[in-house]
């Protein structure tokens, strides 16, 4: 990872600010001859799109994606396929309200990147958070839609498994449920609870954190590369790069710190299909390399920093002041992180698939 690019062989470069002309990305290193239609990318974007329920920001934007390069209609099959050259994707910004930013232009919002961008660059784009806006994650979802197609048989899914202190009942886990509620929650009962819980938070102008779990099925054994390109290291960096993420864990994660060696060991037995693990404390990764079991990662998202209660801060002129953030915002920004996490995991796994195929042949 460097600057605004991630991946080593399957590389994604993103650009754009919340209130600029457009956001987009360049996907470089995608294998050729993969069928790719813009509707597939749009479908993933639509899952992430804000404004679809009262629980996400009311910014109304089509997020219509265009493919600018890297595909062509195959002269023989008539199907649009990738050509092996960079695939540029563009999403125009259409709902940059020409609002008055005088409230925040000169104040550093606590919990936001206002102060750090200013400290680093000597100025910051105060319009909607500029480059640090969650809007940038739309481009990752677009890239992820391509990445999903690289590893044969792989599926990557994510779900919200905790909101505030409230965890789902893992016995109720139903992947089909994820598409049926506005929280991407796999536990039907907890989703019903979250509806009233988050309504209360939303109405009070507050916000709350969340935990998301990503599961990749069908990952072949052998992906990942010692020592500084471990699959879990790359996943950790990829998930930590999502806005507001403050923690990442693989498999049992922090729970593993409390286990004995006996309890943590994933024992093995032969099956008709070859060696098989009897448990998956490791989250599908040992020594940085995939085991062939599902790859399981979780990450914590802090509460949205934009809240209606005034907070103490300072301004660019060095004076104490207070700030409160009016306008559209997500009471639980973790919700929209769910499809983003799928995209990031898919990109990392696609990259390692290509790398492994190259190195090992």
> What are the structure tokens assigned to 258, written together?
């409390």
Q: How far is CA 259 from CA 236, 253, 256, in A?
A: 22, 11, 5
Q: Report in angstroms how near the CB of residue 285 gets to its own copies at its nearest.
A: 8
Is 59 annotated in some ligand binding site? no
Per CB under 8 A, contacts with its own copies among 167-196 are none
Count of CB atoms situated within 10 Å of the CB of 310:
11
Kindly state whether residue 113 participates in binding its own copies, applying the rule CB under 8 A. Answer: yes
Is 132 annotated in some ligand binding site? yes
Kindly state whether residue 26 participates in binding its own copies, applying the rule CB under 8 A. Answer: yes
Looking at beta carbons only, is 10 or 45 nearer to its own copies?
10
For 140, what's the count of Cα atoms within 13 Å in the CB-facing half-sphere? 28
Per CB under 8 A, contacts with its own copies among 53-112 are 66-70, 72, 74-75, 81, 83-88, 90, 105, 108, 110-112
Kindly state whether residue 294 participates in binding its own copies, applying the rule CB under 8 A. Answer: no
Kindly state whether residue 354 participates in binding its own copies, applying the rule CB under 8 A. Answer: yes
Q: Report in angstroms how near the CB of residue 320 gets to its own copies at its nearest.
A: 5
Say how far apart CA 223 and CA 236 lie, in whole Å: 15
Contacts of 96 (CB under 8 A, 6+ apart): 18, 19, 20, 127, 128
Looking at beta carbons only, is 44 or 232 nearer to its own copies?
232
Q: Report in angstroms how near the CB of residue 156 gets to its own copies at its nearest.
A: 19
Say how far apart CA 225 and CA 86 lie, in whole Å: 25
Say how far apart CA 173 and CA 230 lie, in whole Å: 29
> What are the structure tokens assigned to 316, written together?
């660019």
Kindly state whether residue 153 participates in binding its own copies, applying the rule CB under 8 A. Answer: no
Kindly state whether residue 350 participates in binding its own copies, applying the rule CB under 8 A. Answer: no
Say how far apart CA 26 and CA 32 lie, in whole Å: 15
Binding-site residues sit at 48, 54, 131-133, 243-244, 287, 302-306, 328
């Amino acid at each position: 990872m460097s600057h605004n690019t991630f991946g080593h062989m399957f590389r994604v470069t993103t650009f754009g600010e919340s209130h600029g002309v457009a956001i987009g990305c360049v996907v470089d290193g995608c294998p050729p001859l993969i069928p790719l239609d813009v509707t597939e990318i749009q479908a993933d974007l639509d899952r992430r799109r804000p404004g679809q329920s009262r629980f996400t920001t009311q910014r109304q934007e089509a997020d219509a994606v265009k493919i600018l390069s890297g595909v062509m209609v195959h002269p023989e099959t008539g199907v649009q396929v990738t050509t092996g050259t960079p695939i540029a994707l563009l999403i125009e910004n259409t709902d940059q309200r020409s609002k008055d930013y005088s409230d925040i232009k000169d104040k550093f919002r606590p919990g936001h990147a206002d102060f750090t961008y200013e400290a680093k660059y000597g100025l910051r784009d105060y319009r909607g958070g500029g480059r640090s806006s969650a809007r940038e994650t739309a481009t990752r979802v677009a890239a992820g839609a391509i990445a999903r197609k690289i590893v044969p048989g792989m599926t990557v899914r994510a779900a919200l498994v905790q909101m505030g202190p409230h965890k789902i009942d893992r016995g109720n886990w139903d992947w089909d449920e994820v598409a049926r509620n506005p929280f991407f929650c796999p536990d039907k009962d907890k989703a019903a609870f979250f509806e009233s819980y988050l309504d209360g938070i939303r109405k009070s102008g507050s916000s709350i954190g969340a935990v998301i779990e990503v599961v990749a099925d069908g990952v072949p054994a052998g992906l990942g590369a010692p020592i500084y390109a471990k699959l879990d290291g790359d996943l950790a960096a990829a998930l930590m790069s999502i806005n507001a993420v403050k923690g990442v864990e693989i498999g049992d994660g922090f729970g593993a710190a409390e286990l004995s060696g006996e309890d943590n060991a994933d024992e093995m037995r032969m099956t008709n299909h070859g060696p098989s693990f009897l448990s998956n404390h490791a989250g599908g990764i040992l020594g940085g390399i995939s085991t062939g079991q599902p790859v399981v990662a979780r990450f914590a998202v802090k509460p949205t920093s934009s809240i209606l209660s005034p907070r103490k801060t300072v301004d660019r002129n060095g004076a104490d002041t207070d700030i409160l953030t009016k306008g559209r915002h997500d009471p639980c920004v973790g919700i929209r992180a769910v499809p983003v996490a799928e995209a990031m995991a898919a990109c990392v796994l696609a990259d390692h698939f290509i790398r492994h195929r190259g190195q090992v042949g």
